[in-house]
Each structure stands twice: as C-alpha cells, then as structure tokens.
Amino acid sequence: MATQLADAGTKQGSRPSSSWWALVFLALAQFMVVLDGTIVNLALPRLQIEMGISDSARSWVVTAYALAFGAFLLLGGRIADFWGRKRTFLVAAAGFAVASLLGGIAQQPWELIGARALQGVFAALLAPAALALLNVAFPGGKDRGTAFAIFGSITGVGAAVGVLLGGFLTEHASWRWCFFVNVPIAAIALAGVWSLVSESKAQGSTKYDWPGVVLAALGLGSLVYGFTNAEHGWDAPEAWGFIAAGVVLMALFVLVEATVKHPLLPLRVATERNRGAAFLASFLSGAVLIGGILFINFYIQIVLGFAPFLAGLASLPMTVALIITAGVVAKNLPKLGAKIPTAAGPVFMAAAMLWLTQVSAEGLYLVNMLPALLLLGVGLGMVFVPMQNLALFGVDKDDSGVASALVNASQQIGGSLGIALFSTIAAAAGGVSLAALSDGYAKVFLWAAGVAILIAPIALLLINIDRKKFTGTDGDAPIVHLG
C-alpha cells in the first residue's frame, strides 16, 4: 500500500514542498465535518423553542446529518477515487458551505432538517476526499505517521470545539451562527486545497454500484424512521412496518453486493473477522457516543439549567479524557495488541452509563455527571485506537478506501439508530416535568449501557490477530486516527 501511494504521489499527487501546508487545509476540512456533528447539540433546546419544533422532530436535526453522512460515505469514497479527489473536495467544500448557509437562514423545521441532511451528503464527499488526498501527500515514512497523528488529533479536537463553540454562539449570538460559521471555514479550506494540491484519481474501472447506493440509503432511512416512530408504540404500523422494510432492504443490499461486479461494499472487506469486529465496535460505539451524549447535553441544559456555553464546558472533561487515553493506548499498542483495550473499553463505557442512571431533578453535576463523563472518555479512547487500526489491517490496497469509509459510516449509522432508539425510549417516559424528563433520560442511559457492553464479547470472540502483526512491529506502523 505504501508503495502504491508513493507511486501515486510521484505521478499525480501533492507537491512535496507544499504537503505540510496542504495538511493544514485538509485537516481544517475534517475539523469542520466533525465540528458539525456536535456543534448543534447544545443549540437544540433554544432552537426547538424558537422554531417550534416538536420533541420527536427535534432529534432529526442531529439524525439527518449523521444518517446522510453515514449512508453516502461509501459512495463518497468511490466518487472521490473515480471522479478526482481534488475535484470532489472542492465541490464538496462549496456544497457544504451552501448547505450551512441554508440551515442558518431556515425558517421552517423541514428547511432546517433538509439543510442538515444536505450537509451530511456533502460531508460524505468531503471526508473521504480529504483522507485520500492526505494519503497521496504523505505516501510513507516518518512524515506519514506524523501527518496522520496531526490529522487524527484535529478530528478529536473538532468534537470538543464543536460543543464549546455551539454553546458560545447560541448563548452570545444566535443558534444560526452554528451554521454560518462553516462558510468561512469551508472557503479557507477550499482556497488552500485549490492552490496547493494537485489532482489524483484511481486507475481502472470507474463503474458505480447504483442499486447498492439506493438500497443502502432506503434501508438505513427506513430503519431510523421506524425506530423514531416507535414512540407511538412498537406495535404501530409506522414503527414495525418501516423497521421490517429496512431489514428487507438491507438484506437485498447484501445480496446485491454479493453478486454485482463492482460492489459499493465488497463483502470481503466486512466479513474478515478482525475487521468485522472493528465495524461492529464502531457501530455500537457510535450509538453510545452520538446518541447517548445528546441526552447528556439535554440533562445538563434542561434539568440542571446550565447555559449553553457552560454546558459545553461541562461536557469537555469527556473529550479531554478521550484524547489522553487514546494517546496512551496508541503509545502502548505494541504491548497491548487489539483485543485487550477493545474488550476493556466497553466496561468503562457501560459503567459510565450505569452511573448516569442515577440522574434526578435534584441532581448535581459534580456527583451525577463528572465521574461518568470521565469514565466514558476513558472507555471511548480505549476502543477508538485499536478499532481504527483493525478496520484497515490486512485490507487489499484496492479496498483501503472502502474500509476507511466503512468504519466511519458504521459509526455515523450507529449514531443515527442510537438517537432514534433513545429518543423513543425517552419519549415513552411521558411528562414534561423535570422529574419525568430525568426518568426518561435514566432509561436512555440504561439502554446505552447495554449497547456499550456488547462490544466486549465481540472483541473477545472475534479478534484473533497476532499482536506484532497488528501493531506493525514487523512492518509499517499502524495509522492512529482519533475520529
């Protein structure tokens, strides 16, 4: 793989003298994509009041972005490879800016949710294009490891800054600036890549698996919509009907991928046991991270009464713990291997969520929230590093883009389903009093604990990779990506 990327970089990639500057602008684009996964969370309570959005529709402001991002990420990777990575990046950055502007000026809930979905579509083009351009700009050697470490760190920081910036803008300006802020960021990233990066694209067949794209999008959309409608009762036709349709459509997707000549998702990528463990861990951790944290923010703001920016600061310990833990795990990966941290991390995640089941209307941040946030950050940091590396280990060079996209797509899809399921569980508690809301959130956290702990047996049963091969002690060092 390193040889192939080196050849690509020599023939058609970024100019070596400008590679480090290119990294700045590529990382800025990735920062923006991750930023938008969290920046709206702290704006939701105020946004909901100003726009008159119902509780059931509120979750779609977050879900629409994550679902569109996850559903089209594999296609985005293919388009970037076939159409041209620089060209895809430029179009995606411009499209993301336009979608953000539409979200900022939205007057109706459907306009806002539509803009969020459009952001997700362009993010699905932007993220793999940025990663592919980084691959070409840094084809191997020590510089490659340094570049990917920086890129991964920026990704982790983006999630933290999104929470803080979302709270600050909502409190001191308007929630609309959570969208407007993307316009200058996208413009700077676009201008930098335009001037510093040369075009590159994959060789060979450029056929797209459109049946796979349609089945995946419809199937995932049906599943999320069905889980969202379950707040009306699991026996409601709009719940089980869409869930059943989603299962059928996803089964058809697998059948198509097994038979078409140029599949969107080559099944060999997902069915290898170690990579399969990574994708399942990514899916489940996405449900806990994206779905669970949404309700942590709701509790901090609505029940504890924190202002948006203060709520952002209150969430920061989790991100700090995640980044520190990920760094420690990455440094000790040659000793630990993949199985130990991937199996131990979910125990910390589940413990955090079980701690949160004690939330109440009279709760205290230092007692009810801070210990859980620290535990959750530690658990996620233990899972993310081996998960990202397992997803790319041993993959064929022609499938590396798909594998990279799939680990991110599975996390976003897991987050979408997590939000839908947890929103239904919270709504079933009923009532609008702080006590009733706290009871609903406690039930969400109990379910999130159950989801988190499922990662442990998956790791123990499926991961069987040799530690030396996994950690690169007999070859190139693994890529550590903290996204």
DSSP letters, 309-364, are HHHHHHHHHHHHHHHHHHHHHHHTHHHHTTHHHHHHHHHHHHHHHHHHTT--TT--
CA distance 434 to 424: 18
The chain-wide mean pLDDT, for the chain, equals 83
Q: Across residues 199-222, what is the average pLDDT?
A: 81
- Which pLDDT belongs to residue 467? 65
Lowest mean pLDDT among 16-20, 182-186, 246-250, 251-255: 16-20
The percentage of the chain sitting over the pLDDT mark of 70, rounded to a whole number, equals: 87
pLDDT at 2: 35
- Reply yes or no on whether the pLDDT at 255 is more than 60: yes
User: CATH number of 1-206: 1.20.1250.20, 3.90.400.10, 3.40.190.10, 3.40.50.2300?
Assistant: 1.20.1250.20
Give 187-228 as a DSSP string: HHHHHHHHHH-------S-----HHHHHHHHHHHHHHHHHHH
Residue 153 has pLDDT above 70, yes or no: no
Place of tokens 């000793």: 335
Q: How confident is the model at residue 89 (pLDDT cuts 50, 70, 90)?
A: very high
Indicate the pTM of the whole model: 0.80
Structure tokens at 372: 């859980």
The rounded distance, in Å, linking the Cα atoms of 150 and 71 is 27
CA 64 to CA 99: how far, in whole Å?
13
Between residues 474 and 414, which one has the greater pLDDT? 414
Phi, psi at residue 377, to the nearest 5°? -65, -40
Q: Which residue has the higher pLDDT, 186 or 222?
A: 186
Q: 152: exposed, middle or buried (C-beta count within 10 Å: 0-12, 13-18, 19+)? A: buried
What average pLDDT does the segment 443-463 reach?
95
124-133 residue pLDDT tens: 899 888 877 8
Q: Is the pLDDT of residue 474 over 60?
A: no
Give percent above pLDDT 90 in the chain: 31
Tens-digit pLDDT profile for residues 383-414: 888 887 787 777 776 676 677 778 778 888 88
The pLDDT value given to residue 13: 42
Q: Is the pLDDT of residue 367 over 90?
A: yes
Selected from 3.40.50.150, 1.10.760.10, 2.102.10.10, 1.20.1250.20, the CATH number assigned to the domain covering 270-483 reads 1.20.1250.20
Q: Note the pLDDT of residue 101.
A: 96
Is pLDDT at 10 greater than 50 in this prediction? no
Considering Cα of 276, then 280, then 283, then 286, what sign does the dihedral take? negative
pLDDT tens digits for range 337-352: 889 999 999 999 999 9
Whether the pLDDT of residue 257 is over 50: the answer is yes
What pLDDT, on a 0 to 100 scale, did the predictor assign at position 144? 67
Beta-carbon contacts of 146 under 8 Å, excluding residues fewer than 6 positions away, are none
pLDDT digits (tens, 9 = 90+) for 424-445: 888 887 677 899 999 999 999 9
Q: Report how far apart the first and last C-alpha atoms of the chain are (Å, whole number).
A: 22
